[in-house]
Structure 1
Amino acid sequence: MGLFDQTTSEGWQSLPLPDAELSLWPHWLGEAEACALLTDLQATIPWEVHRIRIFGREVDSPRLSCWIGDEDASYVYSRTRFDPHPWTPVLASLRDRVAHACGARFNSVLANLYRSGQDSMGWHSDDEPELGVQPVIASLSLGAARRFRLKPRDEGGRGNVLGIELGHGSLLRMAGHTQRLYMHDLPKTSAAVGPRLNLTFRWVDASRR
């Protein structure tokens, strides 16, 4: 039995996604710790507005972001290379805890700050070559609950959409064929919601570039 199997009874909930591996731990962090972490990370992460390419032109991404990781964990997204900021002690400790919970190892994390319901993330898959064939990606959510959606990639992504409410302190584990078979997004909302901070931990293999 692997480490991830051992933690299933402690809070993981398997989510229905055919031919993929998707699990949610709704309250992985307690309320007090999640609130303290949100306050700390909002203040200490060097937030940036990343430039992304959409339909052949570069635009500002509709959120604040920061790529953090080991020195060799550079990442290419939307034809842009991101060199990592160094780990802070808080994020390094959190990385180790998330890795233990997910039965995986991580050398990098993408931090996204959605300042209001008007900040968003478009449909995409985390399927860059340096992430490997079946990456394990762990997504920790802090702050306002937002709706996270997944849909099949085949036939242009048309098909049933699975919506998940990712609340304060929740941990989502995406593994297996999830990135190869599905796309995901975080849509805008007209609701008056506060900021949401999301950390997606992953392993970048520089030899695959």
Structure 2
Amino acid sequence: MSNPRQRKQRLQGGAFGRGAARPGAKPRGLPDPEPESLVNNENGSISRFAGQQMGVAGGQSLTYEDPNIDRRAPTEYELIEDKGTYVISEKPSGPAIIELYPDFLSEDEALGIFNSLCSALPWSQKINKKDDFTFMEPRLTVWYGDIRYKYSGVTQEATKSWHPVLEDLRERITKKTGLKFNSMLGNLYRDGHDSVAWHSDNEYSLGTNPTIASLSFGETRAFQLRKNPENFEDTYEFTDKKQINLTNGCLLLMKGAVQEDWQHRVPKEYHDRRMRINLTFRTIYSE
């Protein structure tokens, strides 16, 4: 049995021995307190203050700001909704022009054409390729044209026999705009989950500064555009952006440098959206 002195030492070790701080001692692992500094005041008195509290004039603390952080606010989408011609940019490749005809077709006529196109055209879902990944396109498509069309790993074979409704629509667009087209890519969006990702229609077979006529039927969907950055250190977060809500029966033209200087998409919408059909008339050239 240990003697009383040994027992006393063990009790002290539990409170003040190894692993415990003695009264008034600095806790382990913490830095030494800043030494106090002395300042001579104008009236001859002496003030004391800790070094950690020292700051710039006026008592403000010193802070570091990274000069490389971009503090601009991200650009927001500018809404285009009235009939007219819009020059959305003029550089670096020249004027990029949007023409909008919200009432190209009446509401009732457009709905009748929508119902006809849903059942009459051979819609199918294609396999797309991007950055070495393949995936099913989140929409159905159909192609009509004398020349096959290739984009993003998809090949749309030539279909020279046009459906009468498509032929009539093509002629009416030509009469309205004076533009002629030899091809049409149709998109069917089954609900709000179907979409088209950011892209430009700038394939070699479309030629330089192609004009594309987009005719919409059914549900209204947002059509968004964003300008390509003009320098390598910039990002899409701060470039110009436009949005057009494409309604049943409206016609949209993209002309000039739109495909060169801008990208566009139909984003997913995670609330109730019914079916929509979009017909994009274009001119394809032999490669």
The amino acid across from 2:248 in the alignment is H
What amino acid is the match of 2:148? S
- Give SS of 2:144's match: strand
Is 1:129 matched up with 2:212?
no
Report the alpha carbon displacement of residue 104 of structure 1 after superposing the two structures with TM: 1.1
Give the CA deviation at 1:57. Answer: 1.5
Alignment partner for residue 129 of structure 2, among 53, 74, 84?
A: 53
Counterpart of 2:110 in structure 1 is: 34
Matches within 5 A, 1:26-175: 26-70=102-146, 73-85=147-159, 86-154=161-229, 155=234, 157-158=236-237, 159-175=239-255
1:157 and 1:183 in contact (8 A); partners too = no
Q: Is it true that 1:186 corresponds to 2:260 in the alignment? A: no
Give the 4+ runs in structure 1 shifted more than 6 A.
none
Distance in structure 2 (CA, Å) of the matches to 1:124 and 1:35: 28
Per-residue deviation at 1:16? 4.8
Larger radius of gyration between Structure 1 and Structure 2: 2
Change (3 A) 1:16 1:92: same
Question: Under a length normalisation based on structure 1, what TM-score does the superposition of the two structures give?
Answer: 0.89
- Secondary structure at the counterpart of residue 194 of structure 1: coil
Structure 2 alignment gaps of length 5 or more: 1-81, 91-95
How far, CA to CA, are the matches of 2:253 and 2:113 in structure 1? 20
One-letter code of the match for 1:74? R
Relative distance call for 1:156 and 1:60 in structure 2 (3 A) is farther
Partner of 1:7: none
Shift of the alpha carbon at 1:157? 3.9
Letter in 2 for 1:60: M
- Matched to 1:18, the amino acid is S
SS in 1 for 2:173: helix
Aligned to 1:3: none
Q: Which moved more, 1:78-87 or 1:59-68?
A: 78-87
Contact kept? 1:102, 1:173, Cα under 8 Å: no
Structure 1 gaps of 5+ residues are 1-10
Counterpart residue identity of residue 245, structure 2: E
Q: Distance in 2 between matches of 1:45 and 1:55?
A: 31
Q: Which has the higher helix share?
A: 1
> Which residue of structure 2 lines up, in the alignment, with residue 17 of structure 1?
88
Per the TM alignment, residue 79 of structure 1 is displaced from its structure 2 partner at its CA by 2.6
Q: Match for 1:176 among 256, 261, 264?
A: 256
RMSD: 1.4
User: What number of residue pairs does the alignment pair up?
Assistant: 195
The question of whether the paired residues in 2 share the 8 Å contact of 1:102 and 1:138 is answered with: no
More displaced stretch, 166-175 vs 77-86? 77-86
Aligned partners of 2:88 and 2:175: how far apart in 1? Answer: 23
| Separation (CA, whole Å) in 2 of partners of 1:156 and 1:110 | 30
Amino acid at match of 1:103: G
Paired residue type of 2:196? M
Q: Residue 156 of structure 1: CA displacement?
A: 5.4
* 2:41 corresponding residue in structure 1: none
Contact 2:126 2:154 in 1 (8 A): no
TM-aligned CA deviation for residue 98 of structure 1: 1.2
Query: Per-residue deviation at 1:167?
Result: 0.4
Question: Percent identity, aligned pairs only?
Answer: 37
1:160 & 1:191 partners in 2: Cα distance? 27
For each residue in 1:4-43, what CA deviation from the matched residue of structure 2 results, as whole angstroms up to 9, or x when unmatched? xxxxxxx941235112110100010001110110000000
